Amino acid sequence: MTETAAAPPRLSNHRLSLDDPGAITALGGVLRSANYTEQDIRRACGSEGTNVIAHAELPILVRRLPQEGLLPVLIRLFMLGVRVDRAVAARSLAPLTPEGLEALGLVRLASGAVEPLVKISPFHPHVLVGDPHYQDPLSVPADFVIGVNQTSLNIVSLTVRRPVKAALDIGTGCGVAALHAATFCERVVATDINPRALNFTAFNALLNDLRNIEVRQGSLFEPVAGESFDLVMSNPPYVISPDSDYQYRDSGRDGDALCRSLVRDLPRHLNEGGYASILSNWALRPGQQWIDPVKEWIRDSECDALVLHTQTSAPLTYAGDWNRPLLPQRPKEYEAAVDRWTDYFHRSDISGLAMGGLILRRRKGASTWIAAEELPVSGNPGTSDQILRIFEAQDWLAGGPDLQAAALRPVEDLRFEQSVTVANGEMSIHGAKFSLPRGFKMEGNLDPRTMVVIGHCDGKRTLGEILDRLGPPGDPQGIRGQVVATIRKLFSLGYLVRA
């Protein structure tokens, strides 16, 4: 029976070998030929998730997998993080060999077993190497390189995807955003303060046969002084805390100083018309609205800005959430961390901690706008298209046009689910929910009147003509104004477009 123990602690100063680029690229080819994809791993494991697997699930997941075979052994080693008998690995991994994997720094051969030293996660169309999961949070080293995770997926969702010459990924980690950009940008510069992160990014570029990624070490814009780019992405260490234990999480600066500096310095490195996407947390002082600090960051930036707010947490909630990995094994350390963090927030006069993302577009010499929206930073395929529609809509609305003079239509794939109930023998329509499979992961509700108006928006008649046809122009109850306001909001968020 294959052991189900977690992967062993990392070897001291463990790096991946870049000495044989051909072998790394060949490994990527084997992973793809073995169907090492999210869908096939889920199917093989009978599990909903692939990137985060609870330790308690391991005995069940391991028993669901065949003992031998290329894909099952790859999953055991690099997704579940369990040891595999060396003879089984030798038979199953062909054309790979245990010795070849050890030479690349991916495994360790010991006591007749192959022990994984990394985790390999699929993120279509790529596969990416990161450090394995540590059961004890206090054993995680400061230079830990987190693999594919929700925040790396979020920064990809917020990235405007269009062909450009040069892109910059600040705080690249294992290189998720850099690899994503490399598929549509001529060249990508990936920076990080952590040299191990750059080692993993360089390895992952070769693993996916991407030769247009350059890695540079340094903080924020230091490695690219004097350079500018058409696209900038950053998933920085944005957590606000008194700690500096983990380079991937903690900035080591006071409050939100790192994100504030990043946003303020960014325009100097963004070409005219270029886009930048940043994940961020920011501190709120008593009496501040969630948008207030970010407005100060963006002031005089010569950038249009779409600011997305996902939530604001109270200091105690924020401290509890970020230190939750200490539970349940280390309750005393958890309580001490929560006390340390909340004391820090109190001393810093922080009453709330806002979370979200910023998308900026450089527009030098123009009258710029700021749009503040309550939207999730995560998205589905096509979020980039919706972001571009939002910017186009905000550009047009900034000129103060008469929306009723515009001919509008819903975007492709916009979905409506209407709710109808029957009571006392009569049917009642309760409006509709709308969602967009190719865009931000959100749903909204529409009242029946607005739903009828949208149903008539065919791109041929103006909104005013449709409203005149469906009801009198004079509206003492303000219903027409309410419908127009809702239509304006949908247009500003890219759910409706001008024909």
Contacts 24+ apart (CB under 8 A), 134-139: 135/6, 135/55, 135/329, 136/329, 136/330, 137/325, 137/326, 137/330, 138/326, 138/330, 138/333, 139/9
In a domain, 16, yes or no: no
Say whether both 203 and 339 belong to one domain.
Answer: yes
Say whether both 411 and 339 belong to one domain.
Answer: no
Is 80 exceeded by the pLDDT of residue 53?
no
In a domain, 189, yes or no: yes
pLDDT band, very low/low/confident/very high, at 11 (cuts 50, 70, 90)? low
**Strand ordering across the sheet containing 229-234:** 213-217, 185-192, 164-170, 229-234, 270-284, 352-362, 303-313, 370-373
Q: Which of 91-95, 184-188, 198-202, 340-344 has the lowest mean pLDDT?
A: 91-95
**How far is 16 from 199, CA to CA, in rounded Å?**
7
| 138, burial (CB in 10 Å: exposed 0-12, middle 13-18, buried 19+) | exposed
In a domain, 398, yes or no: no
List the domain range (segments joined by +) for residue 367. Answer: 139-378
Domain boundary, last residue among 56, 88, 118: 118
Main-chain phi, psi angles of 104, to 5 degrees: -85, -10
**How far is 204 from 6, CA to CA, in rounded Å?**
23
Q: What's the pLDDT tens digit per position in 253-286?
A: 999 999 999 999 999 999 999 999 999 999 999 9
Segment 163-190 mean pLDDT: 98
Cβ contact 387:357 at 8 Å: no
Domain total in the chain: 3
Angle between helices 463-470 and 448-456 (to 10 degrees): 120
Domain boundary, last residue among 118, 153, 187: 118
Segment 2-16 mean pLDDT: 63
At 203, list the tokens: 């390895």
What pLDDT score does 187 carry? 98
Segment 107-123 mean pLDDT: 95
Is 60 exceeded by the pLDDT of residue 113?
yes
Say whether both 340 and 425 belong to one domain.
Answer: no
What pLDDT score does 56 carry? 62
Sign of CA dihedral 259, 265, 268, 273: positive
What pLDDT score does 477 carry? 61
Say whether both 112 and 153 belong to one domain.
Answer: no
CATH no. for residue 451? Answer: 3.90.930
In a domain, 134, yes or no: no
Is 50 exceeded by the pLDDT of residue 134?
yes
In a domain, 101, yes or no: yes
Say whether both 374 and 412 belong to one domain.
Answer: no
Is 90 exceeded by the pLDDT of residue 123?
yes
Q: What's the pLDDT tens digit per position in 12-41?
A: 679 999 999 999 999 999 999 999 999 999
Cβ contact 403:487 at 8 Å: yes
Cα→Cα distances 53→59, 320, 359, Å: 11, 21, 32
Say whether both 147 and 43 belong to one domain.
Answer: no
Say whether both 362 and 410 belong to one domain.
Answer: no
Say whether both 45 and 181 belong to one domain.
Answer: no
**How far is 13 from 131, CA to CA, in rounded Å?**
12
Domain boundary, last residue among 118, 149, 183: 118
In a domain, 102, yes or no: yes
Is 90 exceeded by the pLDDT of residue 432?
no
CATH no. for residue 356? Answer: 3.40.50.150
In a domain, 389, yes or no: no
Say whether both 92 and 185 belong to one domain.
Answer: no
Is 80 exceeded by the pLDDT of residue 106?
yes
- Helix and strand numbers (H, E) in the chain are 17, 18
Say whether both 243 and 112 belong to one domain.
Answer: no
Say whether both 272 and 165 belong to one domain.
Answer: yes
Q: What's the pLDDT tens digit per position in 339-381?
A: 999 999 999 999 999 999 999 999 988 789 999 999 888 888 8
* More confident site: 252 or 340: 340
Is 50 exceeded by the pLDDT of residue 2?
no
Segment 159-179 mean pLDDT: 97
Say whether both 360 and 441 belong to one domain.
Answer: no
- How many CB atoms are located within 10 Å of the residue 186 CB? 12
Q: What's the pLDDT tens digit per position in 61-79?
A: 888 898 899 999 999 999 9
Segment 85-91 mean pLDDT: 96
* More confident site: 137 or 201: 201
What pLDDT score does 388 carry? 97
**Mean pLDDT rounded to a whole number for the chain:** 92
In a domain, 243, yes or no: yes
pLDDT band, very low/low/confident/very high, at 417 (cuts 50, 70, 90)? confident
pLDDT band, very low/low/confident/very high, at 59 (cuts 50, 70, 90)? confident
Q: Which of 173-182, 291-300, 366-375, 477-486 has the lowest mean pLDDT?
A: 477-486
